[in-house]
Structure 1
C-alpha cells in the first residue's frame, strides 16, 4: 500500500471515529432521562433555611441603619458596599448577586453529597467575608444534612461582600446563632486581608472590630507567620474533627495559598489528582488535596454556575426547586457502551494501519540494503 493511500485510510478511520463519538453523544443526550436527586427534600430545606437567614440579616442591617445596596436587585440584604475600610480586594457584583440566591443552599447540599459527605460526618471550612451568602449556604447545607461543621471565618471582604464595618460576616453568623436560626458559630475568626491579619484595612476599623469580636466571645487568631497560621488552622480542625471534607469559600490566602496556584485548581469538587507537589506557598486546599481529602472550592462563581447549569446574575430567578441542581440525568448505558466499543475498534484499526506502514518501511529498507550489499560482493 502506498504512503498516500495509507494516510488517506488513517484519515478516514479517524474521521469515522470522531463522527461515531459525536453521534453516540447526541443519541445518548436525546435519550437521557432527567430525574430528581434522591436528596431533593434536603436541598429544599437548605434553601428555605438560607432564605430565612437572608431575611434575618436584613433586619440586622435595618437595626444598624445600614441601607440595602441599590445594586442588590433582589433585596436580599447580602450585597455590600463598593468600598469601605475593611475592603480587601476587588470583586464582581454579578458574582455576589448570583450567590445571594437561596438555591445556593441546595447547590451546597449537592456538592457535599458528591464529595461523599453524609450525616454524622465532619466538614472543615474556611470562610472569607467576600461571599457571605455562600458562607451561609454551606452552613445551612451542613445543618440540614446533619453534618458537623467546623469553620474559621474572616472579617475582610472584597467589594460588595460583607464589607460594612458595622456588620462583618463573623458577627452576622454569630447573631444568627444567637437568634436560633443557625446551630454552628465560628470556631475562630481572623481579620483576613493582607497576611490574614488585616493588612490593607483601616486600622481604626480593625481595632473597633477586634473589640466587638472579643465582646461577642469569638476567638480571634492573629498569626502573621504564614506557615504557623496554616498549622493553627489544621490543629483546630483536627482537635474538633478530624474532618472528612474541606470547603473553601472566597480567596483567603490560607485557603488558596500564596500566588496563583490555588486559582488554577478549578471550582466545585476538586480531584486530588490535580496536586503534584506541595510548596511553601501551598494553602489548605492544596494540603488537604494532597492527603486525598475531598475539597470543595467556591471562588469562581461564574464557572461554578456554568458547571451546574445555573443562571448567572439573572434579572429573575427560576421558581424554587426547579433549577438544575435538583436533577440528575441518566444516560442509556447500552448506547454509550456500543459507541465506546466502536470507537475502540476504529482506533485499533488506526494503530494497525500505522504499524503495517512501519513494517513495510522496515522491509523496504532491508531490501535496499541487501541489494547494495550484493552489488559490493558479486560472489554473493
Structure 2
C-alpha cells in the first residue's frame, strides 16, 4: 500500500499551510521586527527636531506678548493662528491646522522624501504657504535630519488659523528659528500669497504691512499677478538657485495659487507622494505641474484629512503623541529591503506549494 499523497489525498493540508504562511507574512509586514534602521533614525531625528523647533517658537511667541488661546490650541504648540486678521487670506480648518502640529509629520516627510528617491546631499524645491506653518517646520526638520538642501519660496498671507497673526506670522517664526539655529536656510524668494499671489483677498492694511517687510528683507520679492509669468519667475528662481543641480523632489505646502495653478484637475492630486499629476496648458499651470512636467516627483502636503488616512497619522490628536512612537514609523519597515525580501520569500513559498500540489496531482 502506498503512502497517502499530500496533494491528492489531503489537499486541505496545502490550504492550511498557505493560510499559515499568509498569516505570518501579514503579521510581519504589519509589525516588522526589523525595518530600515537608517530610515527610522532619520524619522526620529526629524520628529525630535520639529518638537524642539515648536518649543522654541512657543517661547518666542510668549516673549513677543502673543498669547496661546487654549480653546484654539489645546496642546499649547504656539503654531496655531487666529480666525481673522488683516493678513488672513481665506477660510481654513482649525482641526487640520492642529493636526499638522504633530511632530510625526516631520517623520512622514522623511518617508515621503525617501519614497521619492531623495537621499543625503540632494536638492529639493519647496513651495510653502504660510497657511500651514507647522508643515513648513516639518519639512525643514526632515530636510535637516536627512542632510537634504531645501530651496524654499514662501508666500506670506495665510488662511484662518495659520501663520496669520500680525507680529507673529511666518516671517517672525522664521526669524525666531534662525536665531535658535533651527531654520535651515534662507528662502530664495517670497511673495504676498493669497488671490493672484498679490493678496487681493487680504485687507489693504495687511498687504501694505507684509509688502513693506518683504521689500526690506533682502530676499527677492515676487509680485506678479499673471499666473503664467509668476510660475515662470518661480521656476527661473529655482533653477538659478540650484546652480545646475537636479531637483530630486518638489514639496508643495498648502494651497498657494501660484503652486496649485487654476486647472480643476489639481484637486485630484492625491496627498503625499503624488503618483500622477495632470499637466494642463501653461496658462493654467502652477509650479506643481511645471515641476511634474520636468520629471520632478511631487510631494503634496494638502488635504490633511486624506494625508492622515493614507499614512496612518492621527486626526486632531489631544494630547500630541510623543515623537518617535506613532504608526508612521512602521513605514520605515514596510518600505525597506527586509520587507521586500519578506514579500519575495512569501510569494516563492506559496508558489512552491501550488506547484508541488499540481505536480503530485498529475
Cα RMSD between the aligned structures?
A: 2.5
Q: Distance in 2 between matches of 1:118 and 1:64?
A: 38
Contact 2:127 2:252 in 1 (8 A): yes
Q: What is the match of residue 118 of structure 2?
A: 117
- 1:265 to 1:59, Cα distance in 2 relative to 1, 3 A: same
Please name the residue that 1:42 is paired with.
Answer: 42
| Equivalent pairs, count | 322
Contact 1:25 1:336 in 2 (8 A): no
Unpaired segments ≥5 residues, structure 1: 1-20, 344-380
Match of 2:250 in 1: 246
Is the deviation greater in 34-43 or in 141-150? 34-43
User: Which region of structure 1 is more displaced relative to structure 2, 130-139 or 103-112?
Assistant: 103-112
CA contact (8 A) 1:278 1:287 kept: no
Identify which range, 81-90 or 124-133, moves more after superposition: 81-90
TM-fit CA distance, 1:23: 10
Give the C-alpha shift of residue 53 in structure 1: 1.4
Give the conservation status (yes or no) of the 8 Å contact 2:75–2:320. no
| Alpha-carbon separation, structure 2, partners of 1:142 and 1:326 | 17
Q: Which moved more, 1:164-173 or 1:101-110?
A: 164-173
Q: Does 1:260 pair with 2:271?
A: no
Structure-2 change in CA distance of 1:214 and 1:309 (3 Å): same
Is 2:60 aligned against 1:60?
yes
Q: Which residue of 1 aligns with 2:26?
A: 29
Deviations 1:202-246 (A, max 9, x none): 111221222223343333211111111101100111011142211
Report the Cα offset of residue 337 of structure 1: 5.6
Does the CA-based 8 Å contact 2:46-2:107 persist in structure 1?
yes
1:14 aligns with none
**Structure 2 gap ranges (5+):** 1-17, 355-362
CA distance in 1: counterparts of 2:152 and 2:329, whole angstroms: 26
Task: Determine which structure has greater relative contact order: mean sequence separation of CA pairs < 8 Å that are 6+ residues apart, divided by chain length.
Answer: 2
Deviations 1:120-147 (Å, cap 9, x if unpaired)? 1111110001110001111111122111
CA distance in 2, matches of 1:260, 1:164: 30
TM-score normalised over the length of structure 1:
0.78
Contact 2:227 2:283 in 1 (8 A): no
Equivalence for 1:311: 314
Secondary structure in 1 matching 2:125? strand
Q: Which has the larger radius of gyration?
A: 1
Question: How high is the TM-score relative to the length of structure 2?
Answer: 0.82
